[in-house]
Amino acid sequence: MQLHGNRFIVIGRAGMDIYPDPPGTRTEDATRFVACLGGSSANIAVAITKLGGSAEIVTCVSDDAIGRFALNELDRYGIGRAHVRSVGGEARNSLAVVETRIEDHQSVIYRNGAADFEMTMADVEAVDYGRYDALITTGTVFAAEPSRSAAFRGFELAKVAGLPLIFDIDYRPYSWPSADVAAEVYSRAGAICDAIVGNDVEFGFMAGDYARGLDKARELVAQGARLVVYKMGEKGAITITPEGEITTGIYRTEALKPTGAGDSFMGGLVAGLAHAKPVRDAVLQGSAAAAMVVARVGCAPAMPTTQELEDFLKHHADPSAA
C-alpha cells in the first residue's frame, strides 16, 4: 500500500499530558510537573509533521485554559486547527498524568465529560477532504456520541473524495459503555478502512476471542483492507496485505516509559508509505520511531525528526535479521 502524498487529515482528540519531574518520579511523590500536548490523534499529527508531512486535526477542545493550551501546542507544532472547535459548558479537555518510569508505571487518564466527544456531523462536513491524501483516526473517537456518528460520517465523505482510511484501533475500555458495544463498533469501522493498525489484544477483542486476533486481522484483508499491522509487543509485528504477510522484529532500546509507542509507530508508518517506501521498510520505520519515543521524555515532544530517524536506522541493524 502506498499513499499519493503526505497531507493528512486526522480525526480525534488533542489534550494535555502532565509528567512528574524529574523523570523517574512517582506521581504521588511529585512536587513538580511538566506539561505537553497529548491525545493519541494529536500525537500522531505531531509525528507526521516532524517527519516532513502536513497534518490538520478535527476535534473539539474545552473553552478554558486547558483547551487553549492544546490549541497553542497545535500551533507550536505546525498542526492545522481550522477544524478544531471550542466547546463550553461542562465539557472538559482530555488530561493525562503520565510517569516517566517503567517499573510500576502509572498513567492516570481524566476523560469525564470529554470535550472531544462533542464533535458533530457539522464539524466533519466542514472539511474539504479533496485537499488531503489520507484520513487517519484512532478508535477513541467512536466511544461516545455524537463523536461516533460524526467520525463515521467523516469516513463516508473521505471515501467519496477517494482518500484511504487509516484506523488505529487504540482500544481504551474506560471510554466505552460496554465491551460488546466497542467490539461491534470497531468491527464496523475496520470493515470499511484501507489500513488498520492494532496490537494482538485489540484484534483479539475485535474478534470476540483473544486467541483469534490474528485470524481477525487476516479476515479484514480478505474483506478488502489493503494493509493490516498486527503488533505483538516484544515479538514484533505481522503485516498482512493482499500480496502476503511480512514478519518484522523490534528495535531494542533503553526504555524510560511504555507510552507513546503506538502513536509514533503510526506516524513513522504513514510517513514511510507517503514517501513510497516498500511496506516492510515503512513498518520498520514505524518500529524505529516507536523505539525512539519510549526512550525519551514525553510523547509529542519525543517524536523524532526525519534526520533523527534516519540516523537511528543507519546505526541499528534490521531487527528481522536476528
Domains of the chain listed by start with CATH number: 7-321 (3.40.1190.20)
In this prediction, residue 174 carries a pLDDT of 86
Digit-coded pLDDT (tens) for 45-89: 999 999 999 999 999 999 999 999 999 999 999 999 999 999 999
Torsion of CA 87, 92, 94, 96, to 10 degrees: 150
Judged against a pLDDT cut of 50, whether residue 141 lies above it is answered with yes
Retrieve residue 101's grid coordinates. Answer: 518510569
CA angle, 264 then 270 then 272, to 5°: 100
In this prediction, residue 175 carries a pLDDT of 87
Whole-angstrom Cα distance, residue 322 to residue 146? 47
Whether the CB-CB separation of 263 and 36 falls below 8 Å is answered with no
Whether the CB-CB separation of 263 and 44 falls below 8 Å is answered with yes
Mean pLDDT within 267-282: 97
Chain centroid to CA 206: how far? 18
Reduce the secondary structure of 197-210 to three states and give it as a string. EEEHHHHHHHHCCH
Mean pLDDT within 203-213: 91
Digit-coded pLDDT (tens) for 227-241: 999 999 989 999 999
Judged against a pLDDT cut of 80, whether residue 25 lies above it is answered with yes
SS3 category, 236: coil
Return mean pLDDT, the chain.
95
Strands (E), 12-100: 15-20, 33-38, 54-62, 80-87, 95-98
In this prediction, residue 173 carries a pLDDT of 87
Torsion of CA 73, 22, 290, 259, to 10 degrees: -80
* CA atoms 188, 237, 99, 13: torsion sign: negative
In this prediction, residue 216 carries a pLDDT of 95
**Would you call 187 exposed, middle or buried from its count of C-beta atoms within 10 A (0-12, 13-18, 19+)?**
middle
Q: Provide the 8-state DSSP code for 159.
A: H
In this prediction, residue 322 carries a pLDDT of 44
Judged against a pLDDT cut of 70, whether residue 148 lies above it is answered with yes
Digit-coded pLDDT (tens) for 289-306: 999 999 999 999 999 999
